[in-house]
Amino acid sequence: MIEDQENLEEEETEEELAPAVDMGIVAIECADCGRPLLNMLKVRDTEDVSKIKVICINKRCGPDGERGESWVHELQGHYFHSTIKKRDIITSMVEEDGIMVIRMDKT
């Protein structure tokens, strides 16, 4: 009985991971606290390259007691973005020195 249950769990894990890779989803998380912030979903292959950085939703996870932020991600192609948690919202998207900086908050 115990062996059967273990096998079942392994199969479920594989099914969850495989589609995400196929669809080209890039998950962006805070480099300071590791919170998942945004999913970038690739919808088209283009020559366009965009650099994006997401400021963390947590207000004090950064080294100076301020908001942390993600690494700068370089994405090639056309992407849609979607928030990960239900209450997360994007409050602004501003280009600063060639990098799209996305700020977020909780409703």
Query: Does 104 contact Zn ion by CB under 5 A?
Result: no
The pattern of x and - marking residues 18 through 57 that bind Zn ion according to CB under 5 A reads ------------x-xx-x--------------------x-
Q: Which is nearer to Zn ion, 61 or 102 (CB)?
A: 61
- Cβ contacts of residue 72 below 8 Å, gap of 6+? 51, 52, 53, 99
Integer Cα distance of 86 and 83 in angstroms: 7
Count of residues in contact with Zn ion, rule CB under 5 A: 8
Which residue number, 32 or 51, has a Cβ lying nearer to Zn ion? 32
Token pair 């991971």 is found at 17
Least distance (Å) between residue 38 CB and Zn ion: 13
- Binding part of the chain for Zn ion, among 16-24, 68-76, 79-87, 91-99 by CB under 5 A, reads 68-76
Task: Report CA dihedral (85, 86, 92, 96) to the nearest 10 degrees.
Answer: 10
Binding site for Zn ion (CB under 5 A): 30, 32-33, 35, 56, 58, 61, 68
